[in-house]
Amino acid sequence: MFKVEEIIYENSLIGEAAVEDWITEGQVKKTTWNDKLLLENTLDPDKHGDHAHWLLWCPVEFPDRIMIEWDFYPLEEPGLCMLFFAAKGREDKDLFDPSLPKRTGYYPDYHSGAINTLHLSYFRHKHAEERAFRTCNLRKSHGFHLVTQAADPLPPVDDAISPYHMKLIKYNEYVFFYINDLLVLEWEDDGSTYGPVYQGGKIGFRQMAPMKAAYANLSVKKVRMVTE
């Protein structure tokens, strides 16, 4: 059980103006849909393959022991949606340290490149095998380690009743992920199997083309664990 201590970041995500100070890696189209932020690819995946995907980073550096919440509206698939969190450059550099290689949305640059991060895939409807047996996957990188996975309750877009309220808690060695207050996934990092426990860092949204999805009501809150 967690108790909120303070709100450290809020963004209603009312359209593209809400993320004008965010950092884009790759080519992402940002528009407004029903007063919400609509995100989709700019490049054609049939022509550009895995280089058509992108990542959109919140510029704020967050501490550890946080709760991240947002509303998610899946609109068009196939595709895949992810949240990156606890992201830093390797050797504890800032994620945007100019000494790090340029990143352009190509996935290997994020899971096996010059950064450390945790990344959660929570809408994995890109490939036929993902749609046939849907899971949420949590990975720890550098190294592309699949640390845990769980059943994904999100339906295909045609059956979706949006929004879905997403909540992720990163608290020391623990990660908890909820959809509509249903606990979907949890993991405890032992601090040795895949390297030290990550502490703090940046968060970002990623989609695999040609996914279209909208986002609203992002917040990051400082929390503490209560045992009663």
Question: Cα dihedral sign for 96, 143, 213, 4?
Answer: negative
Show Cβ contacts of residue 24 under 8 Å, excluding neighbours closer than 6 positions. Answer: 54, 55, 56, 57
Q: Determine the longest span between alpha carbons in the chain, in angstroms.
A: 55
- Other beta carbons within 10 angstroms of residue 29's beta carbon come to 13
Per-residue pLDDT tens digits of the chain, which is 228 residues long: 899 999 999 999 999 999 999 999 999 999 999 999 999 999 999 999 999 999 999 999 999 999 999 999 999 999 999 999 999 999 999 999 999 999 999 999 999 999 999 999 999 999 899 999 999 999 999 999 999 999 999 999 999 999 999 999 999 999 999 999 999 999 999 999 999 999 999 999 999 999 999 999 999 999 999 986
CATH code at 2-225? 2.60.120.200
Domain ranges of the chain: 2-225
Show Cβ contacts of residue 96 under 8 Å, excluding neighbours closer than 6 positions. Answer: 23, 57, 59
Tokens for 126?
């890109």
β-bridge mates for residue 3, sequence order? 224
Q: Which of 69, 4, 1 is nearest to 223 (CA)?
A: 4
Q: How many CA atoms lie within 13 A of 158 on its CB side?
A: 1
This prediction has a pTM of 0.96
ω into 156 cis (within 30 of 0)? no
Give the whole-angstrom CA distance, residue 115 versus residue 87: 7
Q: Which of 213, 211, 50, 46 is nearest to 131 (CA)?
A: 211
Contact 207, 74 (CB under 8 A): no
Provide the pairing of β-strand 79-89 with 174-179: unpaired
**pLDDT number for residue 227:** 81
